[in-house]
Amino acid sequence: MSLPAYLPVLFLVILSTLFAAGSMFVASKLSPAKWTAAKVEPYECGIEPQEGGVPGGERFPVKFYLLAMLFIIFDIETVFLYPWAVAYDELKVFGLIEMLVFVAILVAAYVYVWRKGALEWAE
Amino acid sequence: MSGLIDAIGPAVIIALVKVLVTFVMLLGITLLVVWAERKIIADMQSRVGPNRWGPFGLLQTLADGIKLFFKEDFRPRTADRWTYAIAPIATMVPAFLAFAVVPFGNEVTIAGHPINFIVSDLNIGILYFLAMGSLGVYGIVLAGWASGSKYPLLGAIRSSAQLISYEIALGLSLVPIALVAHSLSTLDIVGAQAGTIRNVTFFDGIPVLEQVANIFRYVPNWYIWSQWPAFAIFLVAGIAETNRPPFDLPEAETELVQGFSTEYGGIRFAMFYLGEYIHVVVISAMAVTLFFGGWSGPGFDFLPWLWPLFWFFFKTALFVYLFVWLRATLPRLRYDRLMWLGWKRLIPAALLWIMVTAVVNTEGVSRNVRLGVFAALFLLVLAVVLRGDPRLKEAVTPQRRRTQGRLSRGAA
């Protein structure tokens, strides 16, 4: 089959996007639209919204940012493991030891992060 | 008609038909899964469950879906209009896409064209599956951010932190599969699990066990036998990735009032819901594909193409049942416990298992080294278990009591 492997995936993207957009369009034609001032207030258990009022106007703990940084490190590590995992047969013991060294370096970083308390959530 | 086929090429026609069939099939499966979940949970809670629309209430989901088309679709004053509209699509589409690499039947030949029951056999199937799982995070973050409201934002930030934490464990848990299968293509992985376990020489020369070992000739050659630690990590991380109980922190009703989807209603909410259920099906299907031999199973002469399909959907249905069962059984995790499990247990365990699999499977590593690895692993597990479980610890050293500080640190 000379078909590019990603063409069916592209078809699936188009089909599912069309389905989603289409059903939203149909729903917008079928549904009533009686907006009132109270109805379009952001949800706040019935009281007036206190702060924000624009997307991203709220605050959240910086802890999540730290977590995102850690995620990048370990996710890239995962990505590096995959090529080795497929080709480790040809790399033999040399590849194994190389990968052990690579993982050992990351484990050192992981232990550091753990000891620093970056993985602790409850204070 | 044949002129049209020649003009576009049969390959394109086959691809289009496959995509269409898979898409409609997934929608149908979602209807069934939602119905099955409500029925099963009702049964577990001694209720009747949906029983009005269609036989056994089978059409209930369809009725609910149609109803949602007629619901008013308003948007909060503070929302960012286009991002708000795109977010449900951005959640739903990757869930569908992830199914593209799941092979759900054996190869058949229709009109001289060999056809695999898979949308596209990508040579990086596992990576593609992980990538689509990651893309789903965008929909949730955009939904929470674009609503311009407190609870959705908090829910979205939380759930993105949860998803990226468990994504690492999910990614690491599949590396050993790539190691033993030498491939990332899901078709190759299913192919590698075909047949039954042979060449079990471990018991040779031992009188009775030698005969008993013959039973291995009837055991399918699935990766679950050798890779069950990877499977355990995959399952836990996979459930966390689908935002299903007990990891449904993103929609924690009691604290975040539905989290990222607070401000969504009508058909947009249905899109999030659809995405979640497709994701459940995809994780179940991937578990079956990677660890339980995919569509392989006993086939018969009667309708030979049907049996692989049957076995695939049967195994997948068992996993979907497990998802529902967990929802009916387990309470939601506390957030710090969730992070603790993901970062401090699953990630080191997955890394360790990769290294063990690699050392044991690499050519040229001596038998003594392999035995040493197993012994070290056993001792490590023993140490973790003895240190981790207070009851076991008490059993070993009865005079030491659990202290309050230890409990509050959550180290148990």
Where do the structural domains in chain A lie, given as residue ranges?
58-123
Q: Which CATH superfamily groups domain A58-123?
A: NADH:ubiquinone/plastoquinone oxidoreductase, chain 3 (1.20.58.1610)
Measure the CA–CA gap between B35 and B53, rounded to whole angstroms.
11
Q: With CB atoms and an 8 Å threshold, state whether B120 touches A9.
A: yes
Distance of alpha carbon B19 from the chain centroid: 21
Asked if residue B366 has pLDDT above 80, the reply is: no
Q: Which residue has the higher pLDDT, B412 or B401?
A: B401
Size of interface A-B (CB pairs under 8 A): 227
Q: With CB atoms and an 8 Å threshold, state whether B365 touches A13.
A: no
pLDDT digits (tens, 9 = 90+) for B315-345: 999 999 999 999 888 888 888 888 888 888 8
Query: ipTM of the predicted structure?
Result: 0.87
Measure the CA–CA gap between B261 and B271, rounded to whole angstroms.
11
> Of B12, B78, B134, B336, which to mutate for an interface test with A (greatest number of A Cβ within 10 Å)?
B78
Three-state SS sequence of chain B:
CHHHHHHHCHHHHHHHHHHHHHHHHHHHHHHHHHHHHHHHHHHHCCCCCCCCCCHHHCCHHHHHHHHHHCCCCCCCCCCCHHHHHHHHHHHHHHHHHHHHHCCCCCCEEECCEEECCCCCCCCCHHHHHHHHHHHHHHHHHHHHHHCCCHHHHHHHHHHHHHHHHHHHHHHHHHHHHHHHHCCCCHHHHHHHCCCECCCCCCCCCCHHHHHHHHHHHHCECCHHHHCHHHHHHHHHHHHHHCCCCCCCHHHCHHHHCCHHHCCCCHHHHHHHHHHHHHHHHHHHHHHHHHHCCCCCCCCCCCCCCHHHHHHHHHHHHHHHHHHHHHHHHCCCCCHHHHHHHHHHHHHHHHHHHHHHHHHHHCCCCCHHHHHHHHHHHHHHHHHHHHHHCHHHHHHHCCCCCCCHHHHHHCCC
Beta bridge partners of B220: B196
Q: What are phi and psi of A61, to 5 degrees?
A: -60, 145
What value, to the nearest 5°, has the Cα angle with vertex B271 and ends B98 and B320? 55
Q: What are phi and psi of B308, to 5 degrees?
A: -55, -45
B363 in contact with chain A, both atoms CB, cutoff 8 A: yes
Section B366-387 average pLDDT: 78
The alpha-carbon gap from A90 to the nearest alpha carbon of chain B, in Å, equals: 9
The alpha-carbon gap from B10 to the nearest alpha carbon of chain A, in Å, equals: 10
The alpha-carbon gap from B27 to the nearest alpha carbon of chain A, in Å, equals: 11
Asked if residue B405 has pLDDT above 70, the reply is: no
What is the model's pLDDT at position B412? 40
B117 neighbors B295 (Cβ within 8 angstroms): yes
Q: With CB atoms and an 8 Å threshold, state whether A42 touches B150.
A: yes
Chain A residues close to B169, C-beta within 8 Å: none
Q: Which residue of A has its CA nearest to B343?
A: A119
Domain ranges across chain B: 64-361, 367-412
Cis peptide before B246 (omega within 30 of 0): yes
Chain B residues close to A39, C-beta within 8 Å: 74
The alpha-carbon gap from B312 to the nearest alpha carbon of chain A, in Å, equals: 21
> Of A7, A10, A41, A43, which to mutate for an interface test with B (greatest number of B Cβ within 10 Å)?
A43
Below-70 pLDDT ranges, chain A: 1-3, 45-46, 48-58, 122-123
Measure the CA–CA gap between B340 and B338, rounded to whole angstroms.
5
Q: Which residue of A has its CA nearest to B363?
A: A92
Lowest-pLDDT choice from B102-106, B155-159, B396-400, B401-405: B401-405
Asked if residue B402 has pLDDT above 60, the reply is: no
Q: With CB atoms and an 8 Å threshold, state whether A86 touches B267.
A: no
Q: Which residue has the higher pLDDT, B314 or B197?
A: B314
The alpha-carbon gap from A40 to the nearest alpha carbon of chain B, in Å, equals: 4
Query: How many Cβ atoms from other residues are within 10 Å of residue B289's Cβ?
Result: 29
Q: With CB atoms and an 8 Å threshold, state whether A52 touches B71.
A: no
Q: How confident is the model at residue B36 (pLDDT cuts 50, 70, 90)?
A: very high
What is the model's pLDDT at position B6? 62
